[in-house]
Every structure is written in structure tokens, then in C-alpha cells.
Amino acid sequence: MNQGEGKKISLPEMNARINELLKSSIKSDGVINLFSDIKEEFSLFDPKFLEEISKMKEKNLAVELLKKLIAEQIQIYRRSNVVKSEKFSEIIQGVMNRYLNGMLTNEEVIEELLKMAQQIREAHDAGNELGLSEDELAFYDALTKPQAIKDFYENDELIAITRELTEALRKNRSIDWQKRDSARAKMRMMIKRLLKKHKYPPEGMDDAVATVMLQCELWTDNNDMEHRVVNYAEALSKKLSKCRWQRKNESRTERSRRTNQMDATKGNIYAILNGNKQFLIPVYQRYYSWETEQCSRLWNDIVEMQKKDKVGHFVGSIVNIAEQAMPTGVQKYMIIDGQQRLTTLSLLLIALRDYAEEHPEDGTINARRIDNMLLKNEYEDGDERYKLLLTETDRDLLISLVEKKPISDPGLSRILSNYNFLLVK
């Protein structure tokens, strides 16, 4: 790839250098300071920061860095703002498609991405100008998505609807929307009544309600999961405190008996996935982001384990919250930590299945067993058919791989590229 100075660097080298830049620059609070000659920190889309990127000599690195940073911001919108997520996803996809098809030079694509960064910054500032919080701005965006809407309502009236809608959902946030279909129906009815009171939408624009409803469901799902995670953390903290107190006050005999009876919960990928189960990724989780480097490290560990005749390899913990137990049907688990590992292991299982089907002479891998026991719930329909459900585009791509459907455009997702990497191994 061209660096802008006639030199070439390999794709692995470029990825390594980008990752090194990101490791040294992105902080936990979302601010960056990439350049050593700048003493103060800048927000993600600070004009001075963008100017520094535009001056980078290695144009390919500048393109990849901008793409990564913008994709991270879009992912935030995917968890919070339906309209902005859709808008900016379409823009960056169009820009990158033109770039990959040779219709834009490095300099031109950088200019397009810088314009996009400016648009995102202006979109972020719009809430402050309107006096709206981020939650409220997301609802305002949904209400005003059809451009013609503003011809029928004064802006103050749209802001009033926005705030009333946000407040109504907040007052009902204790309802478990995800478990109860009747609760979701009640939410939709409440929203429709509120909108009807304000004579929204105008006649002939009924489709506008669908966007508002989608934003409301995104908000309730996101807030419901955050509430449940907080409750889970509080319950876990109380349990740990109780255990500490009990251990502090127990006798030597009791401690010995407890130690002999304790058994850490652990299991291999077969034990985790086998059975009528489904693992869900909550909407607020980041998208699948493992690079080839992490997949390669996992694969090398597996190969090393095989060489040493080890019976297993620890890849990390998977933290989940079980949904309400059902006497029949699929038991669902919400993944709190371990999404990247579980997704990569699922991609590895798909690659093993596909390899076994293409090489029937190799009898060491049972493709049908992998497919029906570790990738699918064989006798279920719809989404419950799949062991793992990701978020957004990642979900559709993973389902397509499980179902062996062709994928024409993977977008920015790492799902297909990592599957291909594991398949050729």
C-alpha cells in the first residue's frame, strides 16, 4: 500500500502501526492525544486534532485511523440514536466503497472522512443548541427524520413532544420490556396516544411513527439492560461481602469442609454451547472488533496445545446473566463480558464445520454435530434457532455464515474476514 511517498508497507504492518497509534492515543474517557508536540488533550473530533491527521505523511494510515475512529462513534449511535446511526453508516459505507473501487484517491477519501467528522461534531453540538440531552436529541431526531415534518410543526412544539416522550419512557423504565410482550405492547400504545394528542404525524406521513417507535424500543432495551447489569453488580457485591464475612467468622473445620466441597464453574466450548441455549449480546455492547492478530494468537495457542497433548486451553471468562428460566424452549443468557471470545470461537466452529463438509475424507471432525449442537438449536425456529445472536450488522453476517448463505457486502464488520482467516488455517 502506498504511504504517499512512493514506499509500500504490508497490510499486517499497517494494521500493527494503526493499532500502536490507537493504543497510545485512545483513553478510557474518549479523549485523544496522538501527537507528542501537542500538550493538551482533544475531544475525538476536535478541529486541531483533525488538522493533525490531515497533515500525516502516511496517507493510508490517516485513512484507516479516521475510518476506525468514525466507526467507533457510529457504534455509539447504534446503541443510542437510530437516525444518526443509519445516516452516518450509509455515508461512511458510500465513501469507503468509492475508495475501494478506485474512485477516490487517498487525499480525496481523507477529505471526505474529515467532512464526515465535521458533520458528526455538528450533530453532537445540535443538542446543546436546542437545549436537549443526548437521550432527548435522539427522540427529536426520530420525530424530525422526515424533512417535511418541520413544515407542519413549530420547533418549540417538536421539542415539547420530545421532552414529554422522554419523560414518559423514564417514568416507565422499571417495566421489564425485554421479558414481557404485553409490556412492549403497552409501551407502543402509550407512545401512540402521546403522539396522537399532539396530532403527530401529519396526514399521509404515517411511516414517521415507525422511526419514533424504533427509537423508543432502542432506548428501553438499552436502559433496561443497564438497569439489570447494575442490579446484578449490586447483588454480586452483596454476595461477595456476605462470603467475606462468613469466611472471616467460620471455624477451621467449616473452612476445611467448604474447601473440599467447592468446585469452580468451568467448561469447554461444548459444555457452554450444547443444549437448548441462546447467548444474546446487549445493544449497548460494542460490535465485534477482534483483528486478525488476536485470531492468530488464539489459533497458535490451539496448535501449541495440540502439540503438547494438552486437554484444554483457557481463553478467558464469559460473564452472563440468565433470563427467567422457562420450563420449555430456549434458555437465554445475556453476555456481559466475553463477547469477543465467544464470537471468535463460533467463527472457528463454523470454519471447522465448513472444512469438514468440503473434506469428507477427514473423519476427525463431525460437521453435523457442530452444526446442530454448537451453532444451532436444531428444533427451534426464527432467531431462537441460533446459539449466538450479535447486534446490528454483525448479527446478519454471523447468521449468513451459520446458514451458509453468500455475503456480498460485509461493510466494516470483522466477521467475514476473521472467518476467512480461520478457514484457511
Whether the pLDDT of residue 7 is over 50: the answer is no
pLDDT at 24: 46
* CA dist 212 → 136, 278, 293 (Å): 12, 29, 40
Res 50: pLDDT: 76
Q: Do β-strands 277-280 and 331-337 pair in parallel, antiparallel, or remain unpaired?
A: parallel
The stretch 182-194 carries a mean pLDDT of 83
**C-alpha R_g of the chain:** 25
More confident residue, 82 or 308: 82
Query: Per mean pLDDT, which range of 120-129, 282-291, 293-302, 403-412 is the poorest?
Result: 282-291
- Quick: pLDDT tens for 129-184: 899 998 899 999 999 988 888 889 999 999 999 999 999 888 876 555 445 566 67
For residues 74-91, average pLDDT: 84
In the predicted structure, residue 27 carries a pLDDT above the cut 70: no
At residue 99, does pLDDT exceed 80? yes
- Is the pLDDT at 217 greater than 60? The verdict is yes
Are 384 and 377 a contacting pair, CB within 8 Å? yes
What is the pLDDT at residue 67?
A: 80
Give me 407's grid cell.
Answer: 455475503
Whether 248 shows a pLDDT value over 60: the answer reads no
pLDDT of 93 reads 84
Q: Which of 320, 260, 288 is nearest to 417 (CA)?
A: 288
Give the rounded distance of the alpha carbon of 107 from its chain centre: 30
State pLDDT tens for residues 262-284.
334 456 777 788 888 899 887 66
Residue 403 confidence (pLDDT): 95
Residue 286 pLDDT exceeds 50:
yes
% of the chain residues with pLDDT over 90? 19
Arithmetic mean of pLDDT, 82-109: 87
Give yes or no for residue 393 having a pLDDT over 50.
yes
Q: What mean pLDDT is predicted for residues 208-227?
A: 76
Q: Using an 8 Å Cβ cutoff, are 350 and 375 in contact?
A: yes
Instruction: Please tell me the predicted confidence (pLDDT) of residue 283.
Output: 67
**Position 25 pLDDT exceeds 80:** no
CA pair distance 308, 419, nearest whole angstrom: 26
Give the chain's mean pLDDT.
76
| Cβ atoms 186, 177 nearer than 8 A | no
Identify the helix (H) or strand (E) that includes residue 403: none
Count of CB atoms situated within 10 Å of the CB of 216: 24
State the pLDDT at residue 388. 94
Which of 223 and 135 is assigned the larger pLDDT? 135
**pLDDT at residue number 266:** 54
- Are 369 and 378 spatial neighbours (Cβ–Cβ below 8 Å)? no
| Banded pLDDT at 202 (limits 50, 70, 90) | confident
CA distance 60 to 66: 10
pLDDT band (50, 70, 90) for residue 246: low
- pTM exceeding 0.75: no
pLDDT of residue 30: 37
Give pLDDT tens digits for 32-74.
Answer: 333 334 344 444 557 777 777 788 787 877 887 788 778 777 8
pLDDT of residue 282: 76
Q: Tell whether the model's pLDDT for residue 258 goes beyond 80.
A: no
For residue range 324-354, list pLDDT tens digits in order: 555 557 888 888 778 888 999 999 999 999 9
Contact 285, 331 (CB under 8 A): no
